[in-house]
Amino acid sequence: MTGSVAGLPVVWHPDCLRHEPAGEVWLGVWEEGTEVPERASVLLEALTLAGAAVIEADLHGPEALLAVHDRALIEHLATIWRQWEAGGYPAEYGRNRVVPYVFPTAGLLGGLPLRPVAAVHGQVGAFCYDTMTLVGPGSWEAIKAAADAALTAAALVTAGQQVAYALCRPPGHHAGRASYGGSCYLNNAAIAAAALRSAGAGRVSVIDIDAHHGNGTQAIFYDRAEVCYASVHVDPGAGWFPHYVGYADERGTGDGEGANLNVPLAPGTGDAAWLEGVSALCEHVRGRGADAIVVSLGVDAAAADPESPLQVSAEGYRRAGEMIGALGPVVAVQEGGYDLASIGGLVVATLSGLLAAG
């Protein structure tokens, strides 16, 4: 079922295990959550057994993050746990993770500008747009290490590797320029795409095969012609996260007009129609020309996954890898995928497809 990934560079960092969201608040109730550290251990073990060459991520300075994110978001993520602790939220109020409760939406602001606010628990909602994306003691170290893994993999591809994989955890594609949510904090795929560009790739495409629409990546590149975003995902219009974004009529704006492509699919969609969607993404990218590809590699579209109703098989993922690998050099960045028993085989299958094509 899996295939060979012998010699494939797999970049990761042990700090990625230090993020322990310890659950999520969903519809007002705490739930255990599925974005757990074991995801990374399971993937690392499967890739090691399949013969991949595991490399530790290099540490990078802030410049590569600032190419994609506002400084204010980076500073928030880097300091919020310390502020939360200093404010006594865990010790005095029993709040052991950072969770927002008020969001400065357009409706709250009523046209007034966003002000800096005094209370730490008031600040969080200015950056975090949902209640499922908690921050704890080791979160920042993991968030930074995941971005470093994406940057290290991008550097390998810049140096001539045909395929490199970044085992990023936490994932990234729901994080925007100044916002986080959907279990994502910094946008690892967008950071890799920006790094490829600044290392000389003229045109870069992000192909997103996670089950969910990558609203953050889309927003970051929405007005850009040189980086196109193309995604196949479960239809937000059928009731799925991120609900508000990810529709087929979102095609980019300004210089980016026509560069963005969304292929939303009905819940229950299996290999045949999903692969047609992947093929449409590849056609789109081929038509625009791409010197390098970033794959947002979420394996939560698989049938066994608890977070999505798509029904893709490991063979489907392998085929998607083959199609995408034929487009050019690829940086594959881990996104979602939550069924601990099957994600290892799914990622190995996709990567073996990418390698078979290259």
Q: Which does 31 bind (CB under 5 to 8 A by kind): Zn ion, ligand SP5, none?
A: ligand SP5
CA–CA gap between residue 239 and residue 243 (Å, rounded): 6
Among 336, 344, 345, 353, binds Zn ion (CB under 5 A): 336
Among 15, 208, 300, 339, binds Zn ion (CB under 5 A): 300
Q: Which is nearer to ligand SP5, 173 or 203 (CB)?
A: 173
Looking at 11-19, 104-112, 186-194, 209-217, which segment touches Zn ion (CB under 5 A)? 209-217
Residue nearest to Zn ion (CB): 336
Q: Which does 205 bind (CB under 5 to 8 A by kind): ligand SP5, Zn ion, none?
A: none
15 near ligand SP5 (CB under 6 A): no
Q: Which is nearer to Zn ion, 157 or 263 (CB)?
A: 263
Map the footprint of ligand SP5 across residues 21-80, applying CB under 6 A.
Answer: 26, 31
Looking at 181-189, 221-229, 257-265, 274-282, which segment touches ligand SP5 (CB under 6 A)? 181-189
Q: Does 60 qualify as catalytic in the annotation?
A: no
The catalytic position among 19, 121, 174, 233 is: 174
Among 210, 271, 305, 339, binds ligand SP5 (CB under 6 A): 210
The least CB distance from residue 33 to ligand SP5, in Å, is 8
The least CB distance from residue 313 to Zn ion, in Å, is 17
Q: Which does 344 bind (CB under 5 to 8 A by kind): ligand SP5, Zn ion, none?
A: none
Among 298, 316, 325, 345, binds ligand SP5 (CB under 6 A): 298
The least CB distance from residue 115 to ligand SP5, in Å, is 29
233 near Zn ion (CB under 5 A): no
3-class DSSP string for the chain: CCCCCCCCEEEECHHHHHCCCCCEEECCEEECCCCCCHHHHHHHHHHHHCCCEEEECCCCCCHHHHCCCCHHHHHHHHHHHHHHHHCCHHHHHCCCCECCCCCCCHHHHCCCCCCCCCCHHHHHHHCECCCCCCECCCHHHHHHHHHHHHHHHHHHHHCCCCEEEECCCCCCCCCCCCCEECCECCCHHHHHHHHHHHCCCCCEEEEECCCCCCHHHHHHHCCCCCEEEEEEEECHHHCCCCCCCCCCCCCCCHHHCCCCEEEEECCCCEHHHHHHHHHHHHHHHHHHCCCEEEEEECCCCECCCCCCCCEECHHHHHHHHHHHHCCCCEEEEECCCCCCCCHHHHHHHHHHHHHHHC
> x/- string (CB under 6 A) for ligand SP5, residues 329-358?
------xx----------------------
Q: Which residues contact residue 223 at a Cβ distance below 8 angstroms, ignoring those fewer than 6 apart?
A: 252, 253, 254, 255, 256
- 245, 77, 63, 246: CA torsion to nearest 10: -10
Q: Which is nearer to Zn ion, 80 or 191 (CB)?
A: 191
Terminal-to-terminal C-alpha distance of the chain = 20
CA–CA gap between residue 136 and residue 84 (Å, rounded): 9
Q: Which is nearer to ligand SP5, 197 or 212 (CB)?
A: 212
Among 212, 224, 284, 319, binds ligand SP5 (CB under 6 A): 212
241 near ligand SP5 (CB under 6 A): yes
Give the tokens for residue 335: 């996104």
Looking at 3-11, 87-95, 142-150, 179-187, which segment touches ligand SP5 (CB under 6 A)? 179-187
- 175, 179, 182, 185: CA torsion to nearest 10: 60
> x/- string (CB under 6 A) for ligand SP5, residues 300-329?
x------x----------------------
Q: Which is nearer to Zn ion, 126 or 142 (CB)?
A: 142
Q: Rule CB under 5 A: which residues touch Zn ion? A: 210-212, 298, 300, 336
- Active-site positions read 174
